[in-house]
Amino acid sequence: MSYQLDDIRESSERVVESMALAPSLDQAWQTVIEMGWLLASLPEEKGGLDLGLEGTLFIQRLLASKLVGAPYLAVSAALVALRQVQVCDDLVDCVVAGQQWAVAPLADTNLSVKEHAAGGFVIDGDINGVCLSGGDEQLLCWSNDLQHLLLVSLNKRGVSIASQPYWDETRQFSSVYFRQCVIDKAEVLLKGEQAQSIIDQVRCVVDAGIAVDSLGAAKTLMEDTLAYLGDRKQFGRPIALFQALKHRCADLWANFSAAEAFITSQGEQLMRDSSAAQAALFLSNSAFVDIAEESLQMHGGIAMAVEHPCHLFLKRAQLNQHLGRSGVDYQRDIFPLDKSL
């Protein structure tokens, strides 16, 4: 049976709509598993819905609309690689069932991989932006030269993990440090061009996922801000009637819509075209940060109160700017040297 996004759209939206803002990680993750959302991008022969990148991005955007912190994107990005490596078939089944934990990092990585004299490999480096469960888990990572794709168990010598208390409290990330860590040959899933091709895809999915995370959260905040402007009265009338605020909102929304139009237009290309994924990340993150900063300002003093959710959006927006390949080294490559028209 072939599925379309519309087959899961309404039920998924209904479930997320019933969630509280920034729900607990455990609760949200349970929902992700029960709803089968991890199956969205898996091909039908692997028991998935075959909705491609569009399916993954739809769910991630939906979850972001409630500032969900569950590692849906980290696991989905890992699945992009695992589903293409035959030896991982059983693992894929376990991951989508929530029985095992395999994640891709959501931030830039720094990892060297060298062959070990006694067989296997030695890895050294730091991986940030890792969502962990605290149990027996595996990390999908890669060497700096993109020639080795690894799936490493974190429960071994030479690995240390530090939970990172980030400014954004809607998500939990850890840093994983490898120091002269010896891994088996079996933990190197792919090498050479094959590895690079899949690593590129995973990184594109992370970029695009963060981009739609920004869109999803930004839309919720914008709607909240618009409702507030309609309710809040000053000088005897709703502040929504003040042109200074109307223009700011219109400008923010046009910028948001342009980012959204760009992402929609790219479709599955976002998984194959690094520059497009980077452009999506830049456009969406910029739009989200602008909306978050301006929303806080337009809410006035109430937004400074911790009880008000405005700060949660701002912090998420600011952290998103540092996730994916968000460094300037990558953004520079957005500009194509060939012409677009």
C-alpha span between 207 and 106 (Å, rounded): 8
Measured CA to CA, the distance from residue 292 to residue 285 in angstroms comes to 10
Stretch of 10-18, 35-43, 80-88, 248-256 contacting another protein, by CB under 8 A: 248-256
Residue closer to another protein, measured from CB, 72 or 313 = 313
Task: Please say which residue, 267 or 300, places its beta carbon nearer to another protein.
Answer: 267
H helix or E strand, kind and range, residue 173: strand 173-183
Sign of CA dihedral 31, 34, 40, 41: positive
Q: List the one residue from 102, 240, 271, 298 that touches another protein (CB under 8 A).
A: 240
125-184: which residues touch another protein (CB under 8 A)?
A: none
From the list 255, 273, 309, 318, which residue makes contact with another protein (rule: CB under 8 A)?
A: 255
Rounded to a whole number of angstroms, the minimum distance from the CB of residue 307 to another protein is 26
Q: Is 3 exposed, middle or buried (0-12, 13-18, 19+ CB in 10 A)?
A: middle
By CB under 8 A, tell whether 336 contacts another protein.
Answer: yes
Using CB under 8 A, count the residues that bind another protein.
39
Residue closer to another protein by CB (options 6, 90) is 6
d(C-alpha 339, C-alpha 341), whole Å: 6
251 lines the binding site for another protein (CB under 8 A): yes
Q: Which of 94, 97, 162, 258 binds another protein (CB under 8 A)?
A: 258
State the Cα–Cα distance between residues 118 and 160, nearest whole angstrom.
23
228 is a site residue for another protein (CB under 8 A): no
Query: Taking the complex as a whole, how short is the minimal distance between the CB of residue 222 and another protein, in angstroms?
Result: 8
Residue 15 to residue 73: CA distance in whole angstroms: 18
Nearest residue (CB) to another protein, 5 versus 334: 334
Please select the residue that binds another protein; options are 114, 185, 233, 246, rule is CB under 8 A. Answer: 246
- Sites for another protein among residues 207-226 (CB under 8 A): 226
What CA–CA distance (Å, rounded) separates 275 from 221?
A: 28
> For residues 75 and 139, what is the distance between their CA atoms, to the nearest angstrom?
10
* Number of Cβ within a 10 Å radius of residue 240: 18
Taking contact as CB under 8 A, which single stretch among the options 88-96, 123-131, 146-154, 245-253 is the one that binds another protein?
A: 245-253
Residue 270: closest CA among 8, 41, 101, 7: 41
Q: What's the CA gap between 148 and 73, in Å, rounded? A: 22
> DSSP code of 301?
G
- x/- contact string, 269-288, with another protein (CB under 8 A)? ---------xx--xx-----
Nearest-angstrom CA–CA distance, 210 and 106: 8
Shortest distance, position 151 Cβ to another protein, whole Å: 32
For residues 9 and 59, what is the distance between their CA atoms, to the nearest angstrom?
A: 9
* 331 touches another protein by CB under 8 A: yes
Instruction: Tell me how far, at minimum, the Cβ of 259 lies from another protein, in Å.
Output: 6
CA 170/CA 313 separation, integer angstroms: 9
233 binding another protein? (CB under 8 A): no
> Rounded to the nearest whole angstrom, what is the least distance from the CB of residue 55 to another protein in the complex?
17
Question: Whose structure tokens read 């440090």?
Answer: 177
Q: Which residue's CB is nearer to another protein, number 43 or number 230?
A: 230
Q: Facing residues of 111 across strands?
A: 125
70 vs 287, beta carbon nearer another protein = 287
Binding site for another protein (CB under 8 A): 226, 229-230, 240-241, 243, 245-247, 249-251, 253-255, 257-259, 261-262, 264-265, 267, 278-279, 282-283, 328-329, 331-337, 339-341
